[in-house]
Amino acid sequence: MRVILLAAGQATRLRPLTDALPKCLIEVGSSSIIARSIRILADHGIERFTVIDGFMGDLLRERLRAEFPPAWFTFVRNEPYATTNNAYSLMLARYACDEPMLLSDADILYEPGVVTRLLEDPRPNRLALRTRGGVGEEEMKVVLDAEGRVRNVAKDVPPAAAVGESVGLEVFSADFAAKLFDTLDRRMLQENRTGEWYEATFVELIERGESIHPVDLGDFRCMEVDTLEDLSRARELFG
């Protein structure tokens, strides 16, 4: 299995901290956000990482190669990072489509048990679902079908219709990944949907008959860091 880490964005909501620093290199406790994730994943036996960088990408590469074995990493640059969204970044990881993949946003903090639960689930395609604490307008909200599979995942889902939040961690089979990258290629390169979230491609595949199952994280702590308020809370929970 290969991990795809998306780390291209500018994180404007965290300025001035991110004026000259990728968000994922902000420290929480004794480690940067991304290094914490890499360490947890390596402890689960995964040591192959494709990092899609963009803003201050050279600094990110330098820091990761200094902290971990350089052979663990393949780096891909999202050159138009300022004008594209994470779906475009994910498309750039296409070469990994011939094997199972764990997709992760690089700005997530979580307990090791989150990865354990996600990896131990036997279903081929699944996403980590936070069901505790409610969801707001900005979260990537999840709707399930009658069989308990993901039917929709999007920010514009009304909170009252959602079962919880997709936290930005997914595991996909090699077969699903190949279809995912084919669809991303079309949406990004032919239809010029470069500003959209990658979840829109998940939904298209679901509508075409593919299945993604939720993995409820229960009481495990997991959060995304987008704002200064998020960062303050993260340092309380994980510092």
Q: Which residues of the chain have pLDDT under 50?
A: none
pLDDT, residue 10, reads 87
pTM: 0.93
Q: Is CATH 3.90.550.10 the classification given to domain 2-238? A: yes
pLDDT, residue 96, reads 60
Q: Domain locations in the chain?
A: 2-238
Q: For residues 87 and 9, is the Cβ–Cβ distance under 8 A?
A: no
pLDDT tens readout for residues 16-57: 878 889 999 999 988 999 999 999 999 999 999 999 999 999
Q: For residues 150 and 213, is the Cβ–Cβ distance under 8 A?
A: yes
pLDDT, residue 115, reads 97
Q: Residues 64-102, buried b or exposed e (16+ Cβ, 10 A)?
A: beeebeeebbebbbbeebeebbbbbbbbbbbebbeebbb
Structure tokens at 202: 């998940």
